[in-house]
Chains A and B, each alone.
Chain A
Amino acid sequence: MAVTKVVMPKLSEAMETGKLLRWLKQEGERVAGGDIIAEIETDKADIELEAFGAGVLRKVLVGPGTTVPVGNTIAVIAEPDEDISAVVGDRPAPTAPAAPAREPARTAPASPSAQPAAATVPTSPSPSAADVRRPPAPAAPAVGAVAAAEAVEEDEPPVAGVRLRASPLAKKLAQKAGVDLTLVKGTGLGGRVIQRDVEAFVARPAATPAAPAAARPAPRPAAEFEDQPLSQIRAAIARQMAQSKAPVPHFYITTEIAMERAVALREELQALPGAPKLTFTDLIVRACALTLVKHPGVNASFQGQAIRRYRGVHVGIAVALDEGLITPVLRDCDAKGLFQIAAESRDLVERTRARKLRGQELSGATFSVSNLGMFPVDEFSAIINPPEGSILAVGAILDKPVVVNGQLAVGKRMRVTLSCDHRVMDGAMGARFLADLKALLEAPLGLLV
Chain B
Amino acid sequence: MAVITYREALNQAHREEMERDERVFLIGEEVGVYGGAYKVSQGLLEKFGERRVIDTPICESGFTGVGIGAAMIGLRPIIEMMTFNFALVALDQIVNHAAKLHYMSGGQFTCPIVVRGPGGPAHQLAAQHSQSMETYFYHVPGLKVVRPTTPRDAKGLLKSAIRDENPVIFIESETLYGVKGEVPEDADFLIPLGVAEVKREGRDVTAVAYSGMYYRVLEAAEEVARTDGISVEIVDPRTLRPMDTETILASVRKTHRVLVAESGAGFAGMGSEIAAFITENAFDELDAPVARVTGANAPMPYARNLERLKTPSKEKIVEALRRVCAVG
Instruction: Enumerate chain A interface residues (CB-CB to B < 8 A).
Output: 118, 120-121, 126-128, 131, 167-172, 187-189, 192, 194-196
Contacts and interface: CB of A to CB of B under 8 A. Distances in A.
B326 A169 contact: no
Contacts of A120: 296-298
Rank and list the top 9 A-B pairs by shortest CB-CB distance, nearest first: A169-B287, A195-B287, A167-B287, A188-B326, A172-B284, A168-B284, A120-B297, A120-B298, A121-B298
B3 interface: no
A238 to B, nearest CB: 32
Contacts of B286: 167-169
Contacts of B284: 168-169, 171-172
Contacts of A168: 283-287
A126 B300 CA distance: 11
B265 A127 contact: yes
Interface in B92-111: none
Contact of A194 (B287, B296, B298, B299): B287
A187 B326 contact: yes
B52 interface: no
A170 B285 CA distance: 9
A167 B296 CA distance: 27
Interface string B255-297: 0100000000100000000000000000111111000000011
Contacts of B285: 168-169, 172
Contacts of B287: 167-170, 188, 194-195
B323 interface: yes
Give chain B's interface secondary structure class: loop
B326 A127 contact: no
A428 B2 CA distance: 81
Contacts of A131: 297
Contact of B323 (A121, A187, A189): A189
B191 to A, nearest CB: 33
B265 to A, nearest CB: 7
A446 to B, nearest CB: 44
A119 to B, nearest CB: 10
Contacts of A194: 287-288, 326
Interface string B294-322: 00111100000000000000000000000
B283 A128 contact: no
Contacts of A118: 297
Nearest to B253: A169
Contacts of B296: 120
Q: How many residues of B sit at the interface, in one of the four size bands?
A: 10 to 19
Contacts of A188: 287-288, 326
Contacts of A195: 256, 287
A169 B297 contact: no
Contacts of A189: 288, 323, 326
Nearest to A171: B284
A193 to B, nearest CB: 10
A126 B256 contact: no
A128 B265 CA distance: 10
12 contacts: A120-B296, A121-B298, A127-B265, A128-B298, A167-B288, A168-B284, A168-B287, A169-B256, A169-B287, A172-B285, A188-B288, A189-B288
A189 B288 CA distance: 9
B25 to A, nearest CB: 36
A172 B298 CA distance: 39
A121 B326 contact: no
A177 to B, nearest CB: 14
Contact of B299 (A127, A167, A196): A127
B272 to A, nearest CB: 15
Given A168-B283, A187-B326, A195-B256, A126 B288 contact: no
Nearest to B326: A188
Interface string B109-139: 0000000000000000000000000000000
B37 to A, nearest CB: 26
A126 B326 contact: no
A121 B288 contact: no
Contacts of A172: 284-285
A126 B323 contact: no
Contacts of B323: 189
Given A127-B265, A187-B326, A189-B288, A121 B256 contact: no
A126 B283 contact: no
A212 B299 CA distance: 68
Contacts of B298: 120-121, 126-128
A122 to B, nearest CB: 10
A54 B285 CA distance: 28
Nearest to A119: B297
Instruction: Give the one of B256, B286, B287, B299 with max A CB within 10 A.
Output: B287
Given A127-B297, A171-B284, 17 more contacts: A118-B297, A120-B296, A120-B297, A121-B298, A126-B298, A127-B265, A127-B298, A167-B286, A167-B287, A168-B283, A168-B287, A169-B256, A169-B285, A188-B326, A192-B288, A194-B288, A195-B287
A194 B297 CA distance: 30
A196 B204 CA distance: 11
Nearest to A172: B284
Contacts of A192: 288, 326
Nearest to B131: A127
Contacts of A170: 287
Nearest to A195: B287
A131 B256 CA distance: 33
A172 B265 CA distance: 34
B190 to A, nearest CB: 37
Nearest to A169: B287
A160 B112 CA distance: 62
Contacts of B299: 121, 126-127
A169 B256 CA distance: 7
Contacts of A126: 298-299
B288 A128 contact: no
A295 B141 CA distance: 61
Instruction: Give the one of B285, B296, B297 with max A CB within 10 A.
Output: B297
A170 B283 CA distance: 11
A131 B297 CA distance: 10
A172 B256 CA distance: 12
A169 B285 CA distance: 5
A179 B102 CA distance: 56
Contacts of A121: 298-299
A58 B287 CA distance: 32
A171 B288 CA distance: 12
Contacts of A169: 256, 284-287
Contacts of B288: 167, 188-189, 192, 194
A128 B326 contact: no
Interface in B211-265: 256, 265
